[in-house]
């Protein structure tokens, strides 16, 4: 069982400015129980958990917590494995296949 942290897509600097927004990250895990335990260790409230939805319906797949940059660093120091968004999407597709869930 593992906890993962990944950077959300679409976070790029704004054109023609010096602005570089702080990137947000997602925290997920192999199981919901493991994710909630790890989030509690980081001091994250369960109300910040985002279940995974497909066509507006909650799925049995593991969702995520949203992390600010400092929280991401703490998560990694506490054992979360950094992965790319591509790796995260592949992992979700593999988890969804047995349930017959189509993900974007």
- pLDDT tens, position by position, 16-53: 665 556 788 999 999 999 999 999 999 999 999 999 98
Distance CA 18, CA 93 (A): 37
pLDDT of residue 20: 58
Residue in the block written with tokens 């054109």: 15
62 lies in some domain: yes
Tally the domains of the chain: 1
Residue in the block written with tokens 């790890």: 38
Structural domain including 80 reads 3-8+23-99
13 lies in some domain: no
18 lies in some domain: no
DSSP strand pairing (81-82 vs 3-7): parallel
pTM: 0.85
Q: What is the rounded average pLDDT for all residues in the chain?
A: 87
58 lies in some domain: yes
DSSP 8-state class, residue 55 = T
pLDDT of residue 10: 67
14 lies in some domain: no
56 lies in some domain: yes
Q: Tell me the three state secondary structure of residue 10.
A: coil
């Amino acid at each position: 069982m593992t906890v993962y942290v990944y950077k959300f897509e679409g976070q790029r600097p704004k054109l023609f400015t010096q602005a570089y927004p702080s990137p947000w990250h997602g925290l997920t895990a192999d199981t919901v129980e493991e994710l909630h335990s790890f989030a509690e260790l980081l001091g994250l409230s369960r109300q910040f958990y985002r279940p995974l939805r497909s066509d507006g319906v909650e799925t049995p797949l593991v969702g995520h917590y949203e992390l600010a940059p400092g929280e991401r660093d703490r998560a990694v120091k506490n054992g979360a494995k950094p992965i790319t968004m591509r790796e995260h999407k592949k992992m979700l597709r593999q988890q969804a296949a047995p349930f017959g869930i189509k993900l974007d």
